[in-house]
Amino acid sequence: MARQQRDRNADKGESNEIVVKVKRCAKVMKGGKRFSFAALVVVGDRKGNVGFGHGKAKEVPFAVEKAIKDARKNMVSVPVVKTTIPHTIKAKSCASIVMLRPACPGTGIIAGAPVRAVMELAGVRDILTKVFGSTNPTNVVKATFEGLRRLRSKQGVEAERGVAVV
């Protein structure tokens, strides 16, 4: 399925959505096949807030709308240092393992489609990523979010330890 991107004005400001994956499921009935759809959507403001959601419906637009609502409920704040992340991290979800590494300015987003969607909408412009194991888009997005949740900024570490890092 082709990747779709939308711009919307939400109540809290501008947010963008990227449809990562739309899956079709067929149910065989007496009169033929009945199709239903499941959508995986990433929502973000490109300023450090990003979320993902999953929605199911009988038609694609309704599945996407449900996924957008779910994504707005599950927003995560990402610590961005200049244009990249503060440190390297590995995260796992089911059989997918995602490694996120900071990169020099001008590198760009070196990532596959699911991780790229998350990083673009989080506001990260320079990052190196690698997916190990399963490349199932749902698990890759979940693993990416687990990594982003576990990221810590320099100020957060200083406050936690009670010392100033030089």
| Fold equal for 4-76 and 78-159 | no
- Is it the case that residue 40 has pLDDT exceeding 90? yes
Give residues with Cβ within 8 angstroms of 45, minimum separation 6: 13, 14, 15, 16, 121, 123
Residues composing the chain: 166
Which residues is 15 bridged to in the sheet?
8
Give mean pLDDT, residues 142-156. 91
Q: What is the largest distance, in Å, between two alpha-carbon atoms of the chain? A: 71
For every residue of 48-100, DSSP letters joined together read SEEEEEEEEESSHHHHHHHHHHHHHHTEEE---BTTB-SS-EEEEETTEEEEE
pLDDT score of 11 more than 50: no
**Which of the listed CATH numbers 3.40.50.12280, 3.30.2290.10, 1.10.1040.10, 3.30.230.10 matches domain 78-159?**
3.30.230.10
* Cα(13)–Cα(45) distance, integer angstroms: 8
pLDDT at 73: 93
Look at residue 10 in the predicted model and tell me its pLDDT: 42
Report whether 143 contacts 96 (CB < 8 A): yes
Share of the chain above pLDDT 70, in %: 92
Q: What tokens were used for 51?
A: 């979320």
Average pLDDT over residues 9-16: 60
> Going by C-beta distance under 8 Å and a sequence separation of 6 or more, which residues neighbour residue 152?
79, 86, 87, 160
3-class state of residue 158 by DSSP: helix
Q: Where are the domains of the chain?
A: 4-76, 78-159
The pTM for the full model equals 0.86
* Class at the top of the CATH hierarchy for domain 4-76: alpha beta
